[in-house]
Amino acid sequence: MNRMARIPTRGTRPERLLVDAVRRVYDGPLLTNVAGLPGTPDVVLPEKRVILAALGCFWHWHPADGCPIAHLPPIGPTGFDWTRKLATNRQRDARNRTELIAKGYRVAWCWECALIGRAARCQADIDAQVAEFIGGPATSIEIAG
Ligand SMILES: [Zn+2]
């Protein structure tokens, strides 16, 4: 955790949108892509013990929660079992969140569908939820489209 306020030059569009939202509502120290913590969290606010992660809806299997934009592909000719693969990703995410909370962090998951696409929330809504989480007592939240 030593890359203070680094401006991310890589990362997905949802990650960049989430960092932008955090920056609009919080001007303290902000770390990105922190490799020393479970899951290499996208955003860590060390003074707040807050972690925020942007989750791609397909790869993190948001369809299991009724995602408005992502759907599982049909089983292709190779017979590749996406459900099994993506369920493994989801279990890993949940385990990482549990470990982070055990380390004293509060964790917000911001799903891709809240940030981009036809079900995206407006910027003011995202900012308000992020600000409320950073300042509030909740242990974990999920922001979805
Ligand atoms: Zn989603």
Residue ranges near ligand 1 (ion) with Cβ within 5 Å? 57, 62, 67, 111, 113
Task: State the angle between helix axes of 13-25 and 123-135 in degrees (0 to 180), rounded to the nearest 10.
Answer: 60
Q: Ligand 1 mean position to 65 CA, how many Å?
A: 8
Asked if residues 34 and 96 have their Cβ atoms less than 8 Å apart, the reply is no
Could you tell me the pTM of the whole model?
Answer: 0.87
Q: Ligand 1 mean position to 67 CA, how many Å?
A: 4
Mean pLDDT in the chain?
Answer: 90
pLDDT per residue over 54-113, tens digit each? 999 988 999 888 999 987 766 666 777 788 888 899 999 999 999 999 999 999 999 999
pLDDT per residue over 103-113, tens digit each? 999 999 999 99
Question: CA separation (Å) from 111 to 5, 65, 79, 80, 81?
Answer: 23, 11, 28, 25, 23
